[in-house]
Amino acid sequence: MLSGVLVMVWGLLMSSTADTAMESRRKIAFLPGSPATVTYSRPKVIIFSAPSSTACSYLENNLRKTQHRYARKVEFVVIDVSKPENAPLAVQYTSGIIPTIVFITSAGKVRNVLYGYNLSDFKVNLKQID
């Protein structure tokens, strides 16, 4: 199941293009060989996390509350970057900063990327995702 989630996340990130709000921070580019089309039923929040990170612990506590509120609107995917099988994704998308939070619209575009965790920034981006 985890490998299926990784393939899905990899496809989502690889097929996404950065919008203006994201370009100043980091551009996630389309790479050859990634899926040409991906079906998006709802926005996604992809969180690169590690159990050893204090900021990730705070994020997890708030995420539990947030998931209930947004369960029908947003899909949350958490990737543990401390696991060896997730290392390629961590290297590609986190810039070494954990947590890294990627907000993807239902149209498949990266809306924004947050490096580190700030509750107010997280909430603002979550409300603006779609």
Q: Find the domain containing 59 and state its range.
A: 2-128
Dump pLDDT digits (tens) for 37-78: 445 678 999 999 999 999 999 999 888 888 888 888 999 999
The total domain count for the chain is 1
Interatomic CA distance for residues 48 and 117, integer angstroms:
11
Q: Which residue has the higher pLDDT, 95 or 43?
A: 43
Interatomic CA distance for residues 115 and 95, integer angstroms:
8
Rounded to two decimals, the pTM is 0.69
Radius of gyration of the chain (CA): 14
pLDDT for 40: 60
Report the CATH number that the domain containing residue 74 is assigned in CATH.
3.40.30.10
